[in-house]
Amino acid sequence: MITKANPFGIEAALKQLGIEALNEGTSTGVNNFANGKIIESYSPADGALIAKVKTSTQEDYEKAMQKASEAFLEWRLIPAPRRGEIVRQMGDELRKFKEPLGKLVSYEMGKSLQEGYGEVQEMIDICDFAVGLSRQLYGLTMHSERPMHRMYEQYHPIGTVGIISAFNFPVAVWSWNAMIAWVCGDVVIWKPSSKVPLCGIACQNIIKTVLQRNNVPEGVSCLVTGNESGDLINKDVRIPLVSFTGSTRIGRHVSKTVAERFGNTILELGGNNAIIVSEHADISMVLVGAVFGAVGTAGQRCTSTRRLIIHESVYDKTLSVLKNAYSQLKIGNPLDENNHVGPLIDKGAVQEYLTAIEKAKQEGAKIIVEGGVVEGTGFESGCYVRPCIIEAENHFEIVQTETFAPILYVMKYKAIQEAIAMQNGVPQGLSSSIFTNNMREMELFLSHSGSDCGIANVNIGTSGAEIGGAFGGEKETGGGRESGSDAWKAYMRRQTNTINYGTQLPLAQGIKFDL
């Protein structure tokens, strides 16, 4: 139900993804649990109403959970390599739909088309990773202190995994969790952001073919919509693990709610990421890392670069290069690949951006590159803003706060220890970076007395993680880990087993208990 003409083929993409039937508030595909009120999805790119989606009622949610619980009993018995094979087929299906799904991500969320394609590629990559993982769900063996005893650990599926994802990565973060959970033998119930519901429905439509072809029981992949479903997931004792991506404020509520019922959480919350620019840095490399980190996805990544901590000897040179680069940024429709910066998600985000700039001025900051709302033809949605650069102090209240917008705070340092202290001197702890060709600075930054973030990079920006490494952060970022490495262990329960194959029953610790 697109109300304005769009020259970038979005109508055809929606049709390929099975979205065209949604314009009357109906639902399609695997989204069988939606009979509630209607929410409308508007594109921040042009302000057009894309489609209407019915949300899930509490009764719908119960039906979904019943299906999931039943499906788990069957899914967990399928050998892990076979589950991996089904996930591999999902990756192949995503390859077929990379272009239309990437366009939908770009159009509904507002990120550039290249970033939309990149997000779908992340989904494909995590499928490939999960396939290999399905044959590597390793336990450990250990020596027992008792004769003729064997000890080992093994991992079992935990059941239903609840996934509550954010608008800024409407499909990739779901896949990070879902693909890993599936090869581990779990089933999934997903509540996508109400700002981008069509992306969730499109993903379900894409994988539906694979699930049906392999006779996978209904309920292995469930989709519920609407904000009410999020709290139902948080409170549900049938869900041992909730993976939540979003703000620190909401994350506190999720953490408390799930912990009260002794559930586990994977929390991916706020970031306030900094790049340290050393006097030994290659400024041309800094330029790429800092500009993409600050303005990519219009500053709406949890790993977006918020702060640039620059050595005083290269401060003026770095700012000069940055100002020149910012003057060349093209702002406009994200589906036009000539543009660098798309819109913010909605007008509420625009207001937060404007408020942050005003707060910075009130605290004594200096505007280096002016911000503001972009108006005129092509910007009718009211969601386009200019990336800005602000000279500030690290202790400013607004600098200590994450603003989901293209605002870059710059500040000086004299010694590397001071820079690391500034980098660490915020409540969040997700991603960090240093640009330097000095080996001692590199190693100090990566040492136990260096960055306190979950991600620490050298001569790479803060934004743009690969799926092979565990993704997540510390402090108010939540401490969770998703995607690669051994993050799979969060989706399984560990069990220690001891087998006595002898004819006697000795007790541990040499305890005597004679009868």
Q: What is the pLDDT along the chain (515 residues), one digit of tens a residue?
A: 455 556 688 999 999 999 875 444 333 334 457 889 999 999 999 999 999 999 999 999 999 999 999 999 999 999 999 999 999 999 999 999 999 999 999 999 999 999 999 999 999 999 999 999 999 999 999 999 999 999 999 999 999 999 999 999 999 999 999 999 999 999 999 999 999 999 999 999 999 999 999 999 999 999 999 999 999 999 999 999 999 999 999 999 999 999 999 999 999 999 999 999 999 999 999 999 999 999 999 999 999 999 999 999 999 999 999 999 999 999 999 999 999 999 999 999 999 999 999 999 999 999 999 999 999 999 999 999 999 999 999 999 999 999 999 999 999 999 999 999 999 999 999 999 999 999 999 999 999 999 999 999 999 999 988 999 999 999 999 999 999 999 999 999 999 999 999 999 999 999 999 88
CA distance 407 to 399: 10
> In a 3-state reduction of DSSP, which class is residue 328?
coil
CA distance 91 to 144: 43
Task: Give the pLDDT score at 150.
Answer: 97
Which residue's structure tokens are 């039943």?
Answer: 70
383 has catalytic annotation:
no
Task: Give the pLDDT score at 4.
Answer: 58
Q: How many CB atoms lie within 10 A of CB 132?
A: 11
302 has catalytic annotation:
yes
Where helices occur in 296-362 by DSSP H, the ranges are: 315-327, 347-362
Name the catalytic one among 108, 119, 122, 268.
268
> In a 3-state reduction of DSSP, which class is residue 35?
coil
Task: Give the pLDDT score at 285.
Answer: 97
Task: Write b or e for each residue in 482-506: b if 16 or more Cβ atoms lie within 10 A of its Cβ, otherwise e.
Answer: bbbeebbebbbeeeeeeeeeeeeeb
From the list 407, 411, 410, 451, the residue with the least C-alpha distance to 429 is 451
* CB-count exposure of residue 141 (10 Å: 0-12, 13-18, 19+): exposed
Terminal C-alpha separation, the chain? 80
Tell me the C-alpha to C-alpha distance, in Å, between residue 454 and each of 308, 432, 465, 478.
18, 8, 12, 10
Task: Give the pLDDT score at 272.
Answer: 98
Which H, E and C letters describe 370-395, residue by residue? CCCECCCCCCCCCCCECCEEEECCCC
For 319, residues 6+ apart whose C-beta sits below 8 A from its C-beta are 310, 368, 389, 410
Task: Give the pLDDT score at 34.
Answer: 82
CA distance 191 to 230: 6
Q: What angle do CA 483, 488, 493 make, to 5 degrees?
A: 150
Task: Give the pLDDT score at 443.
Answer: 98
* Contact indicator for 190, 220 with CB cutoff of 8 Å: no
CA distance 206 to 127: 14
Name the catalytic one among 127, 199, 222, 302.
302
* CB-count exposure of residue 344 (10 Å: 0-12, 13-18, 19+): buried
Q: Is the dihedral of CA 89, 93, 98, 101 positive or negative?
A: negative
Task: Give the pLDDT score at 8.
Answer: 81
